[in-house]
């Protein structure tokens, strides 16, 4: 009987068998990474908008308060995208001829809405309520990041469930006094954890068990 | 002239008894680095060639323990630490419910380590082996029995060893090239 | 059929007829009673084929949704990979945002829905301008916060994709302008002959504004005639009043003051004007809680079991004819008439003395109610008795009629027919209604109407009547336009729109306006204008705004009056028609689609009819004994699993084939046919469902008549019921009930045997529920089984309609169901209704077996269901002893139809295929209330959260709240001795518990 | 150069016919695989298997396109054929492991000639079984949620659920059986490697044999390994059907909620497993003329095992009824009563006949030694065991606590298609195996030969 295989196959064969374990481990890791990647979540990717609206300019530069436009944020689940009217309040006077703002004026003339692209988009089975978060001292910044530094708006966080859970499990790490909710670049006056715990009592933040119950977010 | 290095010399037998006897003889003669080949397990060879001990049981035991621990701790971590949820009013740490998976994981790990251990201890996979150079070695998986004294053996001698094998009434003696 | 089969029938039937039930044995249907050896044999012979047999080809019946399902499948499969990214979505903000509107927060507006022209006030919930849900209007006397199934489902009608969308002339699309000009030409001609050729046919009208329009029009066209036709109208009540008082009056009742009530074939708890109010008052008097130890007493005589009959303390099944005799006998006993004191129907005369005595003892606090479907004389007798008992002004009230120029609608219709035949009708405006379908058959309206030269039909649907009219005018839904109408007591209820008309619709108001001097006025202008002219006193604007806000005009109820009973109102009883071996036929509006107007409403079609639990169909309902005489009993034993037999009905020379439904508790010798089915042009949902009893209904026998011949015929028919019929052994402790006397003697006795194991008795540590602990209590003593809760649940929770075939396959999706159980002989069993939502067990069996944690417990003790986590093993449903979980076997939710998308409640996930779903105590409402409370830094107030079923329940049978708060209503109810948990001995610790039901029988009749 | 010796008829009580030599044994078994021409029987069986497999694929396609609604399941019977088939197939698998592992530990040498295809049967049965838990999901594409893995939801399986136990038990079972089977194959793969003529086959078998040389060192480790694996497989196989039975016992459904299900199910599993072994062995040995290797003695033994397990199962049925009555629990009583008299009565009595009455004939040696009768008996038992699972699952669900929600399960065409389809899958795999791998363990049969004994001669 003559040899079927070349000498080298021995080493090769062993590598394939014992290497398999590492390959599987690597694939699992890679899969998980992909699921958390910006490709998957689209976090930090600026979105195309009909009008290149710059939060950096309006919120950052001119220091307009978030609530001037996002009127629903304290009262409703939906923070509200401002009606064209709100834009026109100012832009009927300033930049009233700038071509980039034409879509806005057009909308105001025709009465057709401006079709903005959603930036922070949760799945339909998640019921997020802005008002309760804002009223309990969760700053805009916490989820939306430094909007005042975004020329074109992007989604800051992954918006994935485990990201939500981080705060729902440890509210003390993010809570801030109500008055600072819309502040950008807020720095706690002292130890955040300590302040957070104090605010949790003050604002009667519910227990972690309650905050992590499924029906808190899913119905 | 110096013959080119070979793997060893092999003798072919046609029944287990002669093989066992031959092996015993060779060992008595002082040969150590030798190997017997047969189409089925022959217990006698184990004691003749002193093959009693192997580490497999230990490997399997360790594998089993690892599996068991993995199984239980996984469940404990997930239900008690990672995301404690009230399921049907049962306690978070419902250990009786965890027994099954713990058990299954034990078996799984043990079995896998048994097989990997087997391969490791047999030095498998080894698709290439000098013995395969012997033309009639194909019959070793059918009805023939081989005894091979390897060149690596200190007593090995290019001429004497084959002669010695001839004395064990083999069917045939042949060299095993590298 | 083979003789041996006959034998089986006999055995079975004998078993049922003598109603031999061991002890407190409940049973759900005939099959249960037929537990004879022969029957077992029968079962063995019948079932195996089904058990492991081929089921009939489903693909053939899947129907139009098939495509959508496939679509859904492909969508679902798209989610296969883990790395699917969210599709990019867009936001279209307002251009000019209305200031009262905060996107994301629903608004509620008061408006009015009408049935038979009579209004009930409702609140409509609006999400960013889309009405999604109807609630009762607490301010409104006719609602008191409750709403019935029709109202709940009306919102679906508005979004119905089958509504007639465009105006057409002989099938060609036209605009309103075209119609208006054509109308103009005709009117020009008519003006010359003072409108002699104008006929306007409407449904019952109670709208003051419309009355005003009509008056105006009649000024312009004195010779024009107005006709009204209401197929299920209160014709005999009107006639009865005229007979008694010489004038039509409107009658309504106050049951809160009535200790003894006699219902003469009246289903006052579940149908008719004011029934919501009556149900509320009635059940309040039966709530033996919080110290109240007295109950009112209800005697009901009726041919087929109704919701009212189910609640009666004494129920006597009588043929519709015999009820007249009963009325005479009772009246005679009360000395207001001299009728018979004995007759061959022994039951009647056995009852009379007892009832009579009871009534007299409660003179002034008693009440005799005549059913709308009983002949005038019964009403007259009832009026007489109430007067004699001094109930007038105490429990019974009279006002002027609600409707505009109250006329005998039949006469008016026949008058119209005469003119049509005479060819005197140039212009026939049919405003709403469907006379071609539902007018008395011998009038042959379908053909007659075509004798009018110009016919225009204004209606929500392109229906049977539209078909024969040149002009088909789309009508606006009540949520799309302004209007007004009177409630049961005359209170003017304002109807305000929540949304611009979805299609080109216009309202009847607008159409009538076209005949006036100011044809183009907007509905708002018309209504407001009229009330502006009516309003006395200053500051009309504020008054108007308040009225619109409240949804009604304050103190606009018609003044009550006490008309005198004129002599000779009650002569002597007429000769009763002889049965002569024939059957009595009884016509009734269908419990779920009424006179047929709701035929295309999937929610109502699929709503299990009270007691029978039939969906999507009507049937020839008869008593088991009658069915047996016709030789069509046996096969109905397992209705729902296999076809029921057909009978050929023959009446006055006309013939209909109908499936048989044998109904325990129905009187022998009569067949009940529910109207409204057999539509030929209802829309994709309603067309071709059931058979059409209007084909039998003649002007001189609108409600019942003797002379029906039924005989068995070939073929069988598949009826979809939501509950199959099986024996229920009382040892199962499902329904606890007893009499008031027993309860007062020994309060614990009623729930004896239904206690759960003691809480301490467990190896597990207790889960503590700090904060809220939501719970529910359902008062079986109050529930009438009206099923409004089911409809409300369906609307609130985006519950899908699955269609007849799927219902038949046991795949109905209702989260909340109303089980009905019978107890006692099949001739006249006690009927118990039991609403069954999710029990939210603290030791939930379903949670334990879910492999993916898709269902588990919230910190407040809710049994959460996470749809997006569910993989659909269905193990939870198997392990749910209450079987309240519902599974999406296909893609049942409609993601495709645009208008139906608008209907969805945005706060509830629309469940996809392959996902389990169930009641969660309307967790979206809980969360909303909690968040509002949190923002105000307080805890949720008692009563702040109302589940959909609770909010709509006319009898307040369902109470939800925080069981950790000892003062909450729910805690108090759970503390009652009547409180028990369903299947409590399984130690599931249900958060939903029941209060046992009590009867208050008259000892004299018990003997 | 095969040495041709005439093989005599095996005498009764012999597990191998006299006259076999190492060579002839090897040749006969290997020839089934290495021969150029395939018998018509094989072609026929394989074709049927393939056709049914296509049917299976069709029904799966329909299922995925439309949803589980194409099956007859409904409220309250949410599990129908799918789970029935799952339990049935898993049960059948058990015989293989039992023969290869338990009988090995018990040193039952007759197993040597039947363990190989029995194990193969196990693997393929498990494969078929594995289909159903997956397919019966409402959203099959999310099956991986039943495994713990790092995910962005931070949600993991619910380890109290028997279904998760199933996932672990069955996957472990599949893996271990596969390993065990493969290890057993290695020496025979070497044989094939050394005997085949075609280059490709040599390469393929060569790879799979991993260079097995049959050296004494190999053999000694090998023996230890197979003993250890047997030792592991034994408790495993018992655990698997125990866990499967937990699917029912953990639930509170009357007729399911019972503590003696585990032994009852395991016995039933072995029962049906051996039935399947016979159903396969009897035709195979006559087609391939293997009566010399799979002797009447083997059939006789299998028959005895069936009889024994059959009696255990019978006992379980009686006990089930007794406890239901003795418990005095109204729901349990009703469940059994419905089973006997209700919609599924026929199925129930049929299964009693198949599983209790039929096997009693196995008391008779004559029957055990008549292959045809044995074959019939085993088919009857297979049917009976399927019915048993069907009745347990469906009749219990159809009529449980609240009569208002009782309902009858009606199987649809797709229920049947899926079931028959997996039988196709099984046949397909099994006959592919017959053609490609030795259906009898060659080296283990060699050890059965008298020549395999080493005569010790005293040498000084």
Mean pLDDT of C641-659: 88
Residue B85 to chain D, least CA–CA distance (Å): 10
CB contact under 8 A, C860 and A213: yes
In the predicted structure, residue C830 carries a pLDDT above the cut 80: yes
Rounded to two decimals, the ipTM of the complex is 0.92
Residue C194, both tokens: 């003072």
Interchain pair D347, C48: CB under 8 A:
yes
Token readout for C743 is: 């309860």
Nearest Cα of chain C lies from the Cα of D394 at a distance, in angstroms, of 9
Neighbours of chain A (3+ CB pairs under 8 A): B, C, D
Q: Residue B162: pLDDT band by 50, 70, 90 thresholds?
A: confident
Q: Which residues 147-176 of A have a C-beta within 8 angstroms of D?
A: 158, 160-162, 165
> Which residues 213-242 in chain D show a CB within 8 A of chain A?
none
- pLDDT by residue (tens digit) across C118-135? 999 999 999 888 899 999
Q: Indicate yes or no: CB of C857 within 8 angstroms of CB of B91.
A: no
CB-based contact A160 D155, cutoff 8 Å: no
Confidence category of residue D456, pLDDT binned at 50, 70, 90: low
Given an 8 Å threshold on Cβ–Cβ distance, is D151 in contact with A32?
A: yes
Chain C neighbours (≥3 Cβ pairs under 8 A) are: A, B, D
Question: Above 80 in pLDDT, residue C310?
Answer: yes
pLDDT digits 0-9 by tens, A128-177: 999 999 999 999 999 999 999 999 999 999 999 999 999 999 999 999 99
Determine the residue among C851, C982, C989 to mutate to test chain D binding: the one whose Cβ has the most chain D Cβ atoms within 10 Å.
C851
C residues 876..895 contacting D (CB < 8 A): 877-879, 881-883, 885-891
Tell me the average pLDDT across C320-346: 87
Q: Where are the alpha helices (DSSP H) in C193-234?
A: 208-220
Tell me which of C103, C769, C862, C910 to substitute to probe the interface with A (most A C-beta atoms closer than 10 Å). C103
Whole-angstrom CA distances from A198 to A173, A190, A193, A206 are 11, 12, 9, 13
In this structure, what token pair is assigned to residue C422?
A: 């005479």
Least confident segment among B130-139, C482-491, C701-710: B130-139
In the numeric block, the tokens 């399997």 are attached to B60
Q: For residue C484, is pLDDT > 50?
A: yes
| Domains identified in chain D, total number | 1
Contact between chains at D194 and A158 (C-beta distance less than 8 A) = no
Please tell me if residue D452 touches chain A, with a CB cutoff of 8 Å.
no
Q: Report CB contact under 8 Å: C847, B88.
A: yes
Q: Is the peptide bond before B125 cis (omega within 30 degrees of 0)?
A: yes
**Residue D281: inside a domain:** yes
Q: What is the DSSP string of B123-138?
A: T---S--GGGGSGGGG
CB contact A35 to D (< 8 Å): yes
Cα of C313 to nearest chain D Cα, Å? 24
Which of C806, C809, C850 is opposite residue D158, by nearest beta carbon?
A: C850
* Distance of residue D172 Cα from the nearest chain B Cα, in angstroms: 6
Q: Is the pLDDT of residue C255 over 50?
A: yes
Q: How many CB atoms lie within 10 A of CB D333?
A: 18
Task: Using DSSP bridges, classify how beta strands C817-823 and C774-779 pair: parallel, antiparallel or unpaired.
Answer: unpaired
Q: CA distances (Å), C394 to each of C259, C711, D21, in order?
A: 12, 49, 112
Which of A35, A123, A132 is closest, CB to CB, to C934? A132
Mean pLDDT of chain A: 90
CA of C771 vs chain A CAs: smallest distance (Å): 9
A4 contacts in chain D (CB < 8 Å):
193, 202-203, 206
Instruction: Give the position of tokens 């081929």.
Output: C54
Grouping H, G, I as helix, E, B as strand and the rest as coil, residue D316 is: helix
What average pLDDT does the structure give for chain B? 88
- Residue A97 burial (CB count, 10 A): 9
CA distance linking residue C75 with residue C606, whole number of Å: 27
Residues of chain B with Cβ-Cβ distance to A214 below 8 Å are: 85
HSE-up of residue D261 (Cα within 13 Å, Cβ side): 24
Query: pLDDT value at position C789?
Result: 95
CATH 3.40.50.740 fits C167-233+405-550, yes or no: yes
Q: Which of C50, C870, C881 sits opposite D401 (nearest CB)?
A: C881
Q: Which residue of A has its CA nearest to B178?
A: A7
Closest CA of chain B from C868, distance in Å = 17
What does the pLDDT read at residue C80? Answer: 35
CA distance D319 to C933: 58
pLDDT on residue A1: 53
Is it true that the peptide bond before C815 is cis, omega within 30 degrees of 0?
no
> Counting beta carbons within 10 angstroms of the beta carbon of residue A183, is it exposed (0 to 12), middle (13 to 18) or buried (19 or more)?
middle
Which chains form contacts with chain B, at 3 or more CB pairs under 8 Å? A, C, D
A136 part of contact set with chain C, CB < 8 Å:
yes
Question: CB–CB of D150 and A32 under 8 A?
Answer: yes
Burial A23-58 (b: 16+ CB within 10 A, else e): eeeeeeeeeeeebbeeebbbbeeebebeeebebbeb
Spell out the residues 6+ positions from residue C818 whose beta carbon is closer than 8 angstroms to its own: C608, C610, C783, C785, C787, C789, C790, C833, C834, C835, C836
The answer to whether the Cβ–Cβ distance between B20 and D164 falls below 8 Å is: no
pLDDT at C641: 56
Nearest to B143 by CA among B111, B169, B171: B171
Q: Closest to C83 (Cβ–Cβ): which among A34, A108, A112?
A: A34
Model pLDDT for residues C2-34, shown as the tens digit of each residue: 333 333 343 444 444 444 333 334 444 444 444
Subunits in contact with chain D (3 or more CB pairs closer than 8 Å): A, B, C
Give the model's confidence band at D457: pLDDT under 50 very low, under 70 low, under 90 confident, else very high: low
Closest-approach residue (CA) in chain A for B138: A1
Burial D385-404 (b: 16+ CB within 10 A, else e): bbbbbbbbbbbbbbbbbbbb
Choice among B144-148, C251-255, C572-576 with the minimum mean pLDDT: C572-576
Listed by start position, the domains of chain C span 167-233+405-550, 250-399, 583-721
What sign has the CA pseudo-torsion C725, C728, C734, C735?
positive
Give the chain C residue whose CA is nearest to the CA of B89: C843
Residues on chain D touching B82 (C-beta within 8 angstroms): 154, 156
| pLDDT tens column, C578-620 | 888 899 999 999 999 999 999 999 999 999 998 889 999 999 9
pLDDT tens track for C673-711? 999 999 999 988 899 999 999 999 999 899 999 999 999
Domain, as residue range, for D161: 72-451
What pLDDT was estimated at residue C343? 80
* In a domain? residue D205: yes
| SS3 annotation, C329-395 | HHHHHCCCCCCCCCCCCHHHHHHHHHHHHHHHHCCCCEEEEECCCCCHHHHHHHHHHHHHCCCECCC
Residue D53: C-alpha distances to residues C606, D72, D129, D422, D423 (Å):
40, 21, 14, 7, 8
Span D205-212, average pLDDT: 90
Say yes or no: C95 contacts chain A, CB-CB below 8 A. yes
Q: How close, in Å, is residue D351 to chain B by CA atoms?
A: 31
Is residue D161 one of the residues assigned to a domain? yes
Q: Cα–Cα distance between D157 and C856 in angstroms, integer? A: 12
- Provide the pLDDT for residue C398: 94
Q: A26 vs A33, A38, B116, B122, CA distance in Å?
A: 10, 20, 20, 28
pLDDT number for residue C71: 35
Of A1, A14, A165, the CB nearest to B132: A1
| D159/B138 CB distance under 8 A | no
Nearest neighbour of A161 by CB, restricted to D150, D153, D203: D153
Task: Determine, yes or no, domain membership for D57.
Answer: no
pLDDT of C772 over the 90 cut: yes
The residues pairing with C585 across neighbouring beta strands, listed in sequence order, are C671, C705
Q: Model confidence over C266-300: pLDDT tens digits?
A: 999 999 899 999 999 999 999 998 888 999 999 99
Decide if D427 is inside a domain. yes
Give the tens place of pLDDT for each residue, B85-129. Answer: 999 999 999 999 999 999 999 999 999 999 999 999 988 888 888
CATH code for the domain in which residue D259 is found: 1.20.1630.10
Chain B hits for A164, CB-CB cut-off 8 Å, are none
Identify the three-state secondary structure at position C226. Answer: strand
C70 pLDDT higher than 80 = no
D175 touches chain B (CB under 8 A): yes
What tens digit of pLDDT does each residue of C194-240 get?
A: 888 999 999 999 999 999 999 999 999 999 999 999 999 999 999 99
In a domain, D19, yes or no: no
Cα–Cα distance measured from residue D73 to residue C63, given in angstroms and rounded to the nearest whole number: 20
Classify domain C583-721 at the CATH topology level: Barwin-like endoglucanases (2.40.40)
What is the mean predicted confidence (pLDDT) over D119-123?
94
Q: Do A1 and B125 touch (CB under 8 A)?
A: no
Q: Å from B28 to nearest chain A CA?
A: 31
| Interchain pair C843, B87: CB under 8 A | no
Its pTM stands at: 0.91
CATH code that applies to domain C250-399: 3.40.228.10
């Amino acid at each position: 009987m003559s040899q079927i295989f070349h000498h080298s196959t021995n080493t090769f064969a062993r590598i394939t068998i014992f290497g398999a374990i590492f390959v599987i481990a690597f694939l699992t890791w890679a899969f998980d990474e992909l699921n958390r990647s910006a490709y998957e979540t689209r976090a930090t990717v600026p979105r195309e908008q009909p009008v290149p609206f710059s939060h950096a300019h309006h919120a950052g530069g001119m220091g307009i308060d978030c609530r001037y436009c996002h009127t629903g944020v304290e009262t409703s689940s939906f923070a509200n995208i401002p009606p064209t009217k709100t834009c026109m309040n100012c832009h009927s006077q300033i930049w009233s001829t700038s071509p980039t703002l034409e879509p806005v004026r057009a909308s105001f003339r025709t009465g057709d809405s401006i079709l903005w692209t959603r930036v922070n988009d949760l799945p339909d089975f998640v019921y997020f309520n802005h008002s309760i978060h804002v009223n309990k001292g969760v700053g805009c910044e916490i989820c939306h990041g430094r909007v005042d530094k975004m020329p074109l708006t992007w989604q800051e966080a992954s918006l994935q469930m485990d990201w939500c859970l981080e705060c729902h499990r440890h509210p003390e790490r993010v809570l801030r006094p109500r008055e600072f909710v819309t502040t950008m670049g807020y720095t706690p006056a002292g130890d955040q954890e300590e302040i957070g715990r104090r605010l949790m009592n003050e604002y009667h933040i519910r227990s972690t068990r309650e905050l992590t119950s499924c029906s808190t977010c899913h119905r | 002239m110096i013959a080119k290095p070979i793997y060893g010399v092999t003798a072919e037998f046609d029944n287990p008894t002669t093989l066992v006897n031959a092996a015993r003889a060779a060992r008595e003669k002082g040969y150590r680095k030798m190997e017997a080949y047969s189409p089925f397990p022959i217990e006698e060879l184990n004691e003749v060639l002193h093959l009693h001990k192997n580490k497999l049981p230990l490997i399997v035991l360790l594998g089993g323990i690892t599996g068991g621990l993995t199984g239980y701790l996984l469940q404990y971590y997930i239900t008690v630490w990672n995301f404690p949820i009230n399921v049907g009013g049962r306690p978070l740490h419902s250990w009786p419910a965890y027994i099954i998976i713990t058990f299954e994981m034990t078996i799984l790990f043990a079995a896998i380590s048994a097989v990997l251990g087997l391969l490791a201890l047999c030095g498998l996979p080894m698709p290439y082996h000098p013995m395969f150079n012997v033309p009639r070695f194909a019959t070793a998986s059918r009805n023939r029995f081989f005894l091979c004294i390897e060149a690596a053996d200190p007593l090995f001698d290019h001429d004497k060893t084959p002669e010695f094998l001839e004395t064990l009434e083999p069917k045939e003696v042949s060299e095993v090239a590298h | 059929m083979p003789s041996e089969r006959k034998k089986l029938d006999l055995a079975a039937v004998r078993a049922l007829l003598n109603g031999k039930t061991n002890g407190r044995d409940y049973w759900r249907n005939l099959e249960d009673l037929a537990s004879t050896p022969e029957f077992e044999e029968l079962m063995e012979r019948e079932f195996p084929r089904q058990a492991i047999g081929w089921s009939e080809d489903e693909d053939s019946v899947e129907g139009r949704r098939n495509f959508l399902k496939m679509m859904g499948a492909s969508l679902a499969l798209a989610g296969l990979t883990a790395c699917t990214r969210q599709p990019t979505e867009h936001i279209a903000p307002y251009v000019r945002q209305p200031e009262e509107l905060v996107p994301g927060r629903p608004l509620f507006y008061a408006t009015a829905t009408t049935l038979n022209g009579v209004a009930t006030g409702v609140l409509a919930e609006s999400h960013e301008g889309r009405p999604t849900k109807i609630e009762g209007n607490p301010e409104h006397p006719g609602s008191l916060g409750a709403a019935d199934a029709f109202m709940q489902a009306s919102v679906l009608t508005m979004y119905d994709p089958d509504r007639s969308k465009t105006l057409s002339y002989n099938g060609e699309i036209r605009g309103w302008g075209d119609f208006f000009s054509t109308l103009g030409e005709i009117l020009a001609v008519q003006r010359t002959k003072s409108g002699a050729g104008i006929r306007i046919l409407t449904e019952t009208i109670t709208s003051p504004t419309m009355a005003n329009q009509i008056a105006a029009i009649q000024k312009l066209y004195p010779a024009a005639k107005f006709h009204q036709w209401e197929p299920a109208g209160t014709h005999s009540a009107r006639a009865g009043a005229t007979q008694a008082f010489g004038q039509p009056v409107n009658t309504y009742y106050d049951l809160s003051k009535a200790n003894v009530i006699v219902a003469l074939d009246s289903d006052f708890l579940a149908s008719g004007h004011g029934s919501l109010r009556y149900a509320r008052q009635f059940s309040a008097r039966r709530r033996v809680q919080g110290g109240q130890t007295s109950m009112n007493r209800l005697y009901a005589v009726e041919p087929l079991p109704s919701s009212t009959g189910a609640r009666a303390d004494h129920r006597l099944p009588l043929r519709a004819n015999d009820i007249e005799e009963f009325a005479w006998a009772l009246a005679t006993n009360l000395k207001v008439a001299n009728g018979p004191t004995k007759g061959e129907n022994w039951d009647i005369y056995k009852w009379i003395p007892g009832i009579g005595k009871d009534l007299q003892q409660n003179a002034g606090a008693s009440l005799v109610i005549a059913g709308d479907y009983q002949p005038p004389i019964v009403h007259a007798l009832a009026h007489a008795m109430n007067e004699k008992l001094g109930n007038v002004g105490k429990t019974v009230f009279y006002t002027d009629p609600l409707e505009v120029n109250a006329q005998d609608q039949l006469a008016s219709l026949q008058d119209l027919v005469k003119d049509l035949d005479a060819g005197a009708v140039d212009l026939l405006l049919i405003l709403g209604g469907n006379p071609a379908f539902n007018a008395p058959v011998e009038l042959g309206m379908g053909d007659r109407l075509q004798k009018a030269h110009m016919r225009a039909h204004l209606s929500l649907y392109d229906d049977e009547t539209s078909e024969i009219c040149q002009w088909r005018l789309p009508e606006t839904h009540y949520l799309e336009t302004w209007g007004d109408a009177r409630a049961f007591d005359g209170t003017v209820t304002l109807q305000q729109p929540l949304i611009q008309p979805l299609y080109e619709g216009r309202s009847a108001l607008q159409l009538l306006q076209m005949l006036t001097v100011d044809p183009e006025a907007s509905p708002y202008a018309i209504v407001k204008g009229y009330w502006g002219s009516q309003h006395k006193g200053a500051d009309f604007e504020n008054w108007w705004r308040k009225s619109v806000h409240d949804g009604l005009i304050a103190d606009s109820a018609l003044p009550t009056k006490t008309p005198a009973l004129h002599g000779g109102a009650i002569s002597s009883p007429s000769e009763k028609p002889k049965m002569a071996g024939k059957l009595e036929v009884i016509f009734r509006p269908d419990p779920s689609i009424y006179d047929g107007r709701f035929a295309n409403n999937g929610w109502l079609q699929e709503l299990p009819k009270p007691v029978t639990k039939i969906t999507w169909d009507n049937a020839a309902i008869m008593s088991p004994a009658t069915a047996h005489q016709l030789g069509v009993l046996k096969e109905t034993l397992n209705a729902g699993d296999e076809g029921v037999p057909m009978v050929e009905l023959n009446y006055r020379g006309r013939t209909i084939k109908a499936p048989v439904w044998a109904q325990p508790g129905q009187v022998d010798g009569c067949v009940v046919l529910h109207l409204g089915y057999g539509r030929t042009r209802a829309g994709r949902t309603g067309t071709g469902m059931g058979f059409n009893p209007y084909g039998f209904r003649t002007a001189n026998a609108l409600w019942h008549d003797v002379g029906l011949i039924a005989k068995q015929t070939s073929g069988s028919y598949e009826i979809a019921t939501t509950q199959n019929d099986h024996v229920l052994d009382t040892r199962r402790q499902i329904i606890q009930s007893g009499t008031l006397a027993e309860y007062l003697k020994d309060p614990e006795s009623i729930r004896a045997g239904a206690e759960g194991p003691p809480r301490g008795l467990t190896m597990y540590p207790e889960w503590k529920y700090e904060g809220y602990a939501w719970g529910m209590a359902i008062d079986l003593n109050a529930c009438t089984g009206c099923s409004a809760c089911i409809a409300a649940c369906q609307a609130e929770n985006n519950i899908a309609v699955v269609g007849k075939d799927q219902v038949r396959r046991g795949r109905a999706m209702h989260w909340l169901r109303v089980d009905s159980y019978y107890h006692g002989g099949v001739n006249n069993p006690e009927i118990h209704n039991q609403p069954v939502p999710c029990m939210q067990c603290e030791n939930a069996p379903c949670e334990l077996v879910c492999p993916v944690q898709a269902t588990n417990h919230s910190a407040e003790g809710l049994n959460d269901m996470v749809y997006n986590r569910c993989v659909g093993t269905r193990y939870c449903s198997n392990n749910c002893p209450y079987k309240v979980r519902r599974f999406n076997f296909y893609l049942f939710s409609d993601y495709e139809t645009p208008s139906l998308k608008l209907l969805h409640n945005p706060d509830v996930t629309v469940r996809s295929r392959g996902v389990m779903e169930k009641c969660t105590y309307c967790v979206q409402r809980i969360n909303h209330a909690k968040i509002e409370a949190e923002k105000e830094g307080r805890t949720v107030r008692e009563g702040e959260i109302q589940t959909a079923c609770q909010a709509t329940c006319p009898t307040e049978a369902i109470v939800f709240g925080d069981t950790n708060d000892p003062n909450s209503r729910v805690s108090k109810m759970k503390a009652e001795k009547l409180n028990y948990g369903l299947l409590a001995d399984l130690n599931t610790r249900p958060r939903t518990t029941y209060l046992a039901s009590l009867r208050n029988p008259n000892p004299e009749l018990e003997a | 150069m095969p040495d041709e010796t005439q093989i005599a008829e095996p005498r009764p009580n012999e597990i191998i016919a006299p006259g076999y030599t190492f060579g002839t044994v090897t040749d006969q078994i290997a020839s089934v695989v290495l021969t150029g021409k395939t018998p018509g029987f094989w072609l026929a069986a394989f074709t049927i298997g393939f056709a049914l497999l296509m049917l299976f694929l069709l029904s799966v396609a329909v299922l995925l396109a439309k949803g589980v609604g194409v099956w007859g399941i409904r409220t309250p019977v949410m599990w129908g054929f799918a789970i029935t088939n799952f339990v049935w197939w898993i049960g059948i698998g058990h015989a293989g492991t039992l023969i290869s592992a338990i009988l090995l530990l018990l040193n039952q040498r007759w197993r040597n000639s039947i363990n190989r295809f029995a194990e193969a049967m196990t693997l393929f049965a498990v494969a078929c079984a594995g289909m159903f838990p997956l397919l019966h999901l409402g959203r099959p594409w999310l099956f991986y949620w039943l495994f713990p893995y790092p995910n962005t939801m931070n949600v993991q399986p619910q380890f109290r659920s028997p279904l998760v136990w199933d996932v672990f038990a069955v996957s472990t079972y599949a893996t271990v059986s596969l390993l065990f089977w493969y290890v057993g194959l290695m020496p025979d793969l070497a044989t094939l490697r050394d005997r085949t003529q075609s280059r490709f086959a040599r390469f393929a078998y060569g790879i799979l044999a991993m260079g097995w040389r049959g050296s004494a060192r190999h053999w000694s480790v090998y023996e230890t390994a197979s003993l250890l694996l047997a030792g592991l497989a034994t408790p495993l196989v018992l655990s698997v059907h125990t866990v499967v039975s937990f699917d029912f016992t953990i639930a509170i459904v009357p007729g399911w909620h019972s503590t003696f299900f585990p032994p009852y199910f395991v016995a039933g599993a072995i029962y049906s497993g051996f039935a399947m072994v016979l159903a396969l062995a009897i035709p195979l040995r006559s087609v391939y003329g293997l009566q010399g290797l799979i002797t009447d003695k083997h059939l006789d033994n299998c028959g005895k095992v069936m009889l024994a397990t059959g009696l255990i199962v019978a006992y379980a049925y009686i006990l089930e009824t007794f406890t239901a009555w003795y418990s005095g629990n109204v729901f349990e009583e009703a469940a059994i009563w419905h089973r006997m008299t209700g919609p599924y009565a026929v199925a129930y009595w049929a299964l009693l006949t198949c599983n209790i009455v039929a096997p009693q004939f196995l008391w008779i040696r004559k029957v055990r030694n008549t292959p045809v009768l044995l074959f019939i008996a085993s088919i009857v038992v297979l049917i009976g065991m399927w019915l048993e699972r069907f009745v347990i699952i469906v009749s219990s669900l159809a009529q449980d606590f609240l009569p208002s929600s009782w309902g009858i399960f009606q199987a649809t065409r797709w229920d049947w298609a899926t079931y028959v389809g997996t039988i196709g899958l099984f046949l397909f795999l099994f006959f592919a195996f017959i053609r490609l791998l030795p259906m009898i363990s060659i080296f283990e049969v060699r050890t059965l030969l008298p020549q395999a004994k080493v005569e010790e001669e005293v040498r000084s």
